[in-house]
């Protein structure tokens, strides 16, 4: 009996240690990816001869890759550092980068209003800062679809190959019952990103709703041929629409 208990304790200990080790590996991998992204951002920034701004910016980026990044208080602190840095940076695009990063931190902190303020400021400084425009579009999606659409359109104005933005616009058109516009946007998303299974599936759904069985089946099989996980999530919805299409 004592041996069995001892073996059980050892087995539980091994499982616990394994789970902690796997967690540490995942955290280290995320931190490495974040560090690479931050280093790229730092390398691309332009500071001129202002060493003080460069040090402040580097300090903010250092906090981003630090072990305390996941703590809520640290997120707010990093956001405030980025806002202060934005005031000192000379180049508009660098100001926009700082404000955009501040917005991301405030989002993770759980304050979408402050995040939206930072994103709006980033766009005012540099209209070509598409990340902020897209995040604002997501923010306004529930409150003001017209405002959301305007921000998505701005993203496409500066980056016409952003397939995810076409997809979001298509969703917006579909929500308001405009299947033709939705299908057109979905198809553009597919052209911008060949193999965009979610868009293929949505074209099948929208076409089936319109009674266009041929197009629906075509895009249904296109999506299925890609054989990826995201198609499985939409498969039941597509099949239901195809049944309705067949019965009509």
> Which three-class secondary structure state does DSSP give residue 96?
helix
**Residue-range domain boundaries for the chain:** 47-159
Which comes out higher in pLDDT, residue 60 or 183?
183
CATH architecture of 47-159: Alpha Horseshoe (1.25)
Average pLDDT over every residue of 220-234: 66
**Helices and strands in the chain: count of H runs, count of E runs:** 12, 0
Rounded CA separation 121/124 (Å): 5
Q: Mean pLDDT lowest for which of 126-135, 148-157, 185-194, 219-228? A: 219-228
Statement: residue 119 has pLDDT above 90 = yes
Please, are residues 169 and 199 in contact by the beta-carbon 8 Å criterion?
no
Average pLDDT over every residue of 54-82: 61
pTM comes to 0.65
The pair phi, psi for residue 46, each rounded to 5°, is -120, 125
Please, are residues 130 and 148 in contact by the beta-carbon 8 Å criterion?
no
Q: Which one, of 146, 193, 186, 187, lies nearest residue 168 by Cα?
A: 186
Neighbouring residues of 226: CB distance < 8 A, sequence distance ≥ 6:
195, 197, 200
């Amino acid at each position: 009996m004592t041996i069995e208990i001892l073996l059980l304790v050892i087995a539980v200990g091994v499982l616990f240690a394994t789970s902690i080790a796997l967690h540490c590996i995942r955290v280290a991998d995320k931190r490495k990816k974040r560090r690479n992204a931050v280093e790229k951002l730092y390398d691309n920034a332009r500071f001129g001869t202002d060493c003080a701004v460069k040090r402040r910016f580097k300090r903010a980026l250092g906090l981003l890759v630090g072990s305390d990044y996941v703590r809520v208080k640290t997120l707010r602190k990093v956001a405030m550092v980025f806002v202060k840095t934005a005031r000192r940076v000379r180049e508009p695009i660098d100001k926009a980068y700082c404000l955009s990063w501040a917005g991301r931190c405030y989002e993770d902190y759980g304050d979408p209003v402050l995040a939206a303020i930072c994103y709006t400021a980033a766009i005012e400084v540099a209209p070509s800062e598409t990340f902020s425009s897209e995040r604002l579009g997501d923010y306004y999606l529930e409150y003001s679809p017209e405002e959301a659409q305007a921000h998505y359109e701005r993203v496409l104005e500066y980056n016409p190959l952003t397939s995810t933005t076409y997809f979001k616009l298509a969703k917006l058109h579909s929500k308001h019952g405009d299947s033709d516009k939705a299908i057109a946007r979905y198809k553009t998303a597919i052209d911008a990103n060949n193999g965009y299974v979610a868009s293929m599936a949505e074209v099948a759904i929208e076409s089936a709703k319109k009674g266009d069985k041929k197009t629906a089946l075509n895009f249904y099989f296109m999506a299925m041929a890609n054989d990826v996980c995201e198609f499985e999530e939409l498969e039941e919805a597509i099949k239901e629409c195809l049944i309705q299409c067949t019965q009509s």
